[in-house]
Amino acid sequence: MAIWIGSAPRMSTIGALGLIGLMTALSGPAAGSATGLAVAGVETQLNEPGVVASVQRTPSSIWAAAAQGDSATLETLLTPTSWDQSNLNPDLLASIELLDTNINKREASRNEQIAETSALLLEHLEAYEASKSEASKSGIELSEALAAVVKLQILYDDKDRFFSDASVAKAINLAQQVAAQAEAEGDWMIASELYFRLNAIYDQSGRYKEDVQRLGRRLAMIRMYAPERLWEIRNQRRIAEGLDPLPPYNAYGDDYHEKLKGINSITVRTAIQRAADQHVGRKTRKHPTGVTMNDLILSGIDAIETMVTTTDLAMVFDGLKNESKRAQFLEVIAAQRAKIQAKEHTASGYDLRRSLDAILAAGQEHVGIMENALLHEFGNGAMAALDDYTAIIWPDELSRFRRSTQGEFIGIGVQIQLDEFQNIKIVTPLEGTPAQRAGVRSDDIIKKIDGTTAIGLGLNQAVEIITGPANTKVTITVEREDENGELIEKEFTIIRQRIDLPTVKGWSKTGPGDTQWDYFIDPDAGIGYLRLTGFTQDSTKEFDQAVRTMKNKGLNALILDLRYNPGGLLDQAISLASRFVPEGMIVKTVDASGVTKSLDKARSVSERVSLAGIPVVVLINEGSASASEILSGAIQAAAHQDKIQALVLGQRSFGKGSVQNVYLLPGATSAMKVTTNYYHIDSPRMIHKVPGATQWGIDPDLVVDMLPSQQEDALLLRRSADVLPLDENGNIIEDTERPDPNTLITEGTDLQVETALVLLKSQTIVDNTKTTMMD
Is 656 designated active site?
A: yes
* Helix (H), strand (E) at residue 173: helix 166-184
pLDDT higher than 50, residue 18: no
What number of other Cβ atoms are within 10 A of residue 222's Cβ?
24
pLDDT at 158: 82
Mean pLDDT of 397-416: 80
pLDDT band at 146 (very low <50, low <70, confident <90, very high): very high
Answer for the pair 356, 265: CB distance below 8 angstroms, yes or no: yes
Q: How far apart are CA 5 and CA 335, in angstroms?
A: 39
Q: How far apart are CA 280 and CA 593, in angstroms?
A: 9
Mean pLDDT of 64-74: 90
pLDDT band at 730 (very low <50, low <70, confident <90, very high): low
Answer for the pair 773, 54: CB distance below 8 angstroms, yes or no: yes
pLDDT at 15: 30
Mean pLDDT of 604-620: 97
Instruction: Tell me if residue 319 falls in helix, strand or coil.
Output: helix
Which of the residues 656, 673, 689, 761 is marked catalytic? 656
pLDDT band at 756 (very low <50, low <70, confident <90, very high): very high
pLDDT higher than 90, residue 71: no
pLDDT digits (tens, 9 = 90+) for 291-326: 999 999 999 999 999 999 999 999 999 999 999 999
Q: Name the H helices within 252-370.
A: 256-259, 265-278, 293-309, 323-342, 349-362
Mean pLDDT for the chain overall? 87
pLDDT higher than 70, residue 598: yes
pLDDT higher than 70, residue 419: yes
pLDDT digits (tens, 9 = 90+) for 480-534: 988 888 899 999 999 999 888 889 999 999 988 888 999 999 999 999 999 999 9
Which comes out higher in pLDDT, residue 32 or 607?
607
Strands annotated E in 406-451: 408-411, 414-418, 424-429, 445-449
Is 518 designated active site?
A: no
Is 642 designated active site?
A: yes
Which comes out higher in pLDDT, residue 256 or 16?
256
pLDDT higher than 80, residue 737: no
Q: How far apart are CA 4 and CA 569, in angstroms?
A: 5
Q: In the chain, what percentage of residues exceed pLDDT 70?
A: 89
Which comes out higher in pLDDT, residue 151 or 686?
151
pLDDT at 557: 98
Mean pLDDT of 689-718: 90
Which of the residues 133, 324, 642, 775 is marked catalytic? 642
Cα angle 299, 675, 566 (rounded to 5 degrees) comes to 110
pLDDT band at 3 (very low <50, low <70, confident <90, very high): very low
Mean pLDDT of 241-249: 89
Which of the residues 138, 143, 442, 626 is marked catalytic? 626
